[in-house]
Amino acid sequence: MKLKLLFFALFWIVLSNAQGGPKATPKVATNYTFAHANGVYQEITGGTVLGTPTSRSLLCFIDPANLNGTIENLIPGPGFPIGFNFVFNENTFDRVAINSNGWLSFGKSSLAPNSVYSQISVTPLSQLSNVDGKQGHDMGKDEELRCRVAALGVELNFTTNSELRIETIGAAPNRIFVAQWKNFIPGGTPDPSHNYNFQIRLYETSNLVEVVYGSMIFGTSGYTAHVGLGGYDETDYNNREVSSSSGSTSTWASSVSGTRNNVQCSLVSTLTPPVVGAIFRWSPVTLSMSEQNLSTFTVYPTKVRDHLFIKGEEMVQAIELYDISGRQVLKERINSDNYVLDMSNFQTGVYIVKLTNNDKSKTLKVIKE
């Protein structure tokens, strides 16, 4: 009996290894690149209005049948339709939950009636995945429902001129889902000398995520906000930092990548606010950038510590390596069907590998750990 159990244990270990083991959790930290841009702030006027000018702060909107929102945390709901399938962090979503505090989270209609969850937080990118204090993930096995985008994650108050609106604009396959916060002020201790106008935009087909700023006024009191993307739990983030600290060179026009999940962007009068039309853009890193017939080979591992192995049935003539900014860091002619690339001295991060053989090529992503 012991021998039989040992045999089955070894069988499953070998099978697991042959299939690559359990699937790694997707990471917004490595699945997206960031860029600043300037464009035009186009206010939306259609769609659905959420809440009223007399609404309180700390609201989450999860149900089209309740446009007043909820103040309760971790309440499931059907969510609001994006209007198209949107791929975020290697998941396909078609619903969202909207938080009055400047951010949204994703959902799936296939999980109805629990397509989304209300998630109340003024610090969305560092919010714990088990904020209810219970063991395990708040969303259980549907942990991808924590995925989120924060445009201005801070406690925000409605005023008599405020409006929170969502609308899907354009025509397939180039539709855009827009969530818009108009004339909001910071909450907690409200300061009407501030005034914020901004949008989150989700793009069909390209799956771009944009935060677009309209008129932004930073008043007398100082506040800070979370800006960026969040993944399955609080350890996964792709955020930005704008500091008002003495000696800091970061600004709203040149923010820097956050190194912690609680990094913030300052909303203080000593800093110049983002100009109207300023864009914070996150672009997905495509796992397989292009493929033209050069497919009879394997490249492993996708997470590299020292060596990347390339083996195939046909010769690979050349290899090129690019960092996440698009800068070429390596170009070699190898003329081999069995090649080992030494990456031990490369910095950690995401790299794009391009392999070519005459008019054939293949491009893929690896992560240097």
46-55, 79-88, 184-193, range with the lowest pLDDT: 184-193
Closest CA to 241 of 264, 260, 210: 264
pLDDT tens for residues 200-209? Answer: 999 998 899 9
User: Six-digit token pair at 216?
Assistant: 């932004």
pTM to 2 decimal places: 0.75
* pLDDT digit string, tens, across residues 22-81: 456 788 998 898 999 999 999 999 999 999 998 988 999 999 999 999 999 999 999 999
* CB-based contact 100:69 (threshold 8 Å): yes
Neighbours of 332 (CB within 10 A): 11
How many angstroms separate the CA atoms of 184 and 366, rounded?
42
Mean pLDDT of 106-134: 95
pLDDT of residue 24: 61
